[in-house]
C-alpha cells in the first residue's frame, strides 16, 4: 500500500514537472512571435512548427487551455491522493487550482467590447451588445474629453472623459478611475481626434467624420476625403461619386448637398466590461498569498511531501 502511494506520488510529481516544463517552453517561445491579435485575422505564420504548436495564437489556443486545465487537475490530485501532507501546502495547491478554474470561467463568460463616443454624442449600451435586457441598458453621453498635462510639460497626466449616464449622472471616467454602470464597468481605453462636418442634404443636417456612412432615404452616404488641389470634398451617395465644394450648395443625385466644416473633436474609446468572478479571483489571490506565507513559514522546502 505504502509502495503504491509512493509510486503514485512520483507519477503525479513527474507529470506536474512535465506539464510545467512544456508550459514554460511554450509560453517563453510564444513571446517571440507576433500573436494573431496583433496582426490581420487572415495572417498565418509560414513556419510549420509555429503553426503546429500554435505559437502565433498560443494565448487563445486550445493547447494553452488544456495545459492549464491539466495543471489544475494535477494540483487537485496532489491533494486528494495525499501527495502533499502539510495542511498549509494542501490549501495552497487547492487555492491555485480554484484560481485556474475561476480564470477559465472568467475568460469564457465575461463580456467585453469597445465603445467609441464622439464629444457631444450619446450612445446606448444595447447598440454594442446583443440581447441586453432593457433594465440593464444605459445611455452614455460624452460631454467633453480632456487631457490634463503635467505642469510645464506636454506629457499627459491623465485622460478624462466627462460622461453623463442616463441623462442624469455626471461622472468623470479616467485612467485608473473606472466607472460602474449597472453590471458594467467602463474603462478609459484610448482616444482619437477626428475632423467633423455638418452635411446638409435637402436641408436635413447630419454630423459626420471622414469615412462614416449614414443613410438618407435608404441611400448610403459618406464623405470620403478632401481634395486639397480642387478644394472639393469627395463624397459618395449610393454608388455615385460627387465632389461638392467647401461650404457651398451642390446638386448631387437629385439632392442639394452642402458640407460645412465643424472642427476637430475628440472621440473617447471606452472599454466596457461585464466581469465574471473577478471579486472571487481577488479574494482567492489574496488567500493564496496568505497560504504561501503560512506554507513557507512552517516548513522548509526539503520536507515537501
Partner 1 sequence: METPFLILSLFVYLAAMALCFFKKSSEKIFLYVTTIAIILHLLALIIRSVAAQHPPFTNLYETFLLLSFLLALRLVFWKRQLPKNLRWLVLVVICLFLLSALVMPTSYKMPKPLMPALNSLWMYIHVPAYFFGYMALILGFIYAVTLLVRRRATSERSDSSLVSCMDTEIKIAFLFLNIGMATGGIWAYMSWGNYWAWDPKEVWALVNILVMAFYFHLKKPTDTKKAVLVILALLSVIFTYLGVTFILSGLHSYA
| Cell, residue 100 | 485556474
- Residue 117, classed as helix, strand or coil, is strand
Query: 58: buried, middle or exposed (CB in 10 Å: 19+, 13-18, 0-12)?
Result: buried
Beta carbon of residue 17, minimum distance to partner 1 (angstroms, whole number): 6
Beta carbon of residue 12, minimum distance to partner 1 (angstroms, whole number): 10
Beta carbon of residue 271, minimum distance to partner 1 (angstroms, whole number): 5
Letter string b/e over residues 61-92, b meaning 16 or more CB atoms within 10 A of that residue's CB: bebbeebbebbbebbbbbbeeebbeeebbbbb
Could you tell me if 18 and 11 are in contact, meaning their C-beta atoms sit under 8 angstroms apart? no
Looking at the Cβ atoms of 32 and 228, the one nearer to partner 1 is 32
Looking at the Cβ atoms of 66 and 224, the one nearer to partner 1 is 66
Looking at the Cβ atoms of 92 and 252, the one nearer to partner 1 is 92
Looking at the Cβ atoms of 9 and 219, the one nearer to partner 1 is 9
Beta carbon of residue 305, minimum distance to partner 1 (angstroms, whole number): 11
**Strands of the 232-237 sheet, one edge to the other:** 213-216, 219-227, 232-237, 240-242
User: Which residue ranges make up the site for partner 1 (CB under 8 A)?
Assistant: 10, 13-14, 16-17, 20, 23-24, 27-28, 30-32, 35, 59, 103, 112, 150, 153, 155-159, 174-176, 178, 185, 187, 189, 271, 273, 275, 278, 281-282, 285-286, 288-289, 292-293, 296, 300-302, 304
Beta carbon of residue 31, minimum distance to partner 1 (angstroms, whole number): 4
CA–CA distance, 106 with 97 (Å, rounded to integer):
14
Looking at the Cβ atoms of 12 and 223, the one nearer to partner 1 is 12
245: β partners = 232
Amino acid at each position: 500500500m505504502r509502495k503504491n502511494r509512493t509510486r503514485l506520488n512520483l507519477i503525479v510529481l513527474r507529470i506536474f514537472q512535465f506539464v510545467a516544463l512544456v508550459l514554460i517552453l511554450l509560453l517563453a517561445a510564444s513571446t517571440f512571435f507576433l500573436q494573431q491579435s496583433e496582426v490581420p485575422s487572415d495572417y498565418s505564420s509560414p513556419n510549420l512548427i509555429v503553426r503546429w504548436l500554435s505559437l502565433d495564437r498560443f494565448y487563445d489556443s486550445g493547447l494553452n487551455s488544456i495545459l492549464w486545465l491539466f495543471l489544475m487537475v494535477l494540483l487537485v490530485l496532489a491533494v486528494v491522493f495525499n501527495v502533499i501532507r502539510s495542511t498549509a501546502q494542501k490549501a495552497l495547491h487547492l487555492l491555485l487550482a480554484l484560481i485556474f478554474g475561476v480564470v477559465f470561467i472568467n475568460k469564457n463568460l465575461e463580456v467585453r467590447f469597445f465603445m467609441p463616443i464622439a464629444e457631444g454624442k450619446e450612445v446606448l449600451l444595447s447598440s454594442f451588445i446583443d440581447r441586453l435586457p432593457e433594465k440593464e441598458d444605459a445611455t452614455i453621453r460624452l460631454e467633453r474629453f480632456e487631457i490634463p498635462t503635467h505642469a510645464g510639460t506636454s506629457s499627459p497626466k491623465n485622460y478624462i472623459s466627462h460622461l453623463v449616464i442616463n441623462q442624469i449622472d455626471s461622472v468623470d471616467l479616467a485612467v485608473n478611475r473606472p466607472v460602474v454602470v449597472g453590471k458594467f464597468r467602463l474603462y478609459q481605453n484610448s482616444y482619437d481626434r477626428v475632423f467633423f462636418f455638418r452635411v446638409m442634404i435637402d436641408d436635413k443636417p447630419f454630423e459626420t467624420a471622414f469615412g462614416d456612412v449614414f443613410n438618407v432615404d435608404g441611400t448610403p452616404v459618406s464623405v470620403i476625403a478632401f481634395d486639397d488641389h480642387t478644394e472639393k470634398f469627395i463624397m459618395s451617395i449610393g454608388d455615385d461619386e460627387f465632389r461638392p465644394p467647401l461650404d457651398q450648395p451642390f446638386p448631387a443625385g437629385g439632392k442639394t448637398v452642402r458640407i460645412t466644416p465643424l472642427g476637430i473633436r475628440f472621440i473617447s474609446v471606452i472599454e466596457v466590461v461585464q466581469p465574471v468572478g473577478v471579486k472571487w479571483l481577488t479574494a482567492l489571490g489574496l488567500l493564496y498569498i496568505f497560504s504561501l506565507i503560512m506554507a513557507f513559514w512552517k516548513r522548509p522546502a526539503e520536507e515537501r511531501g
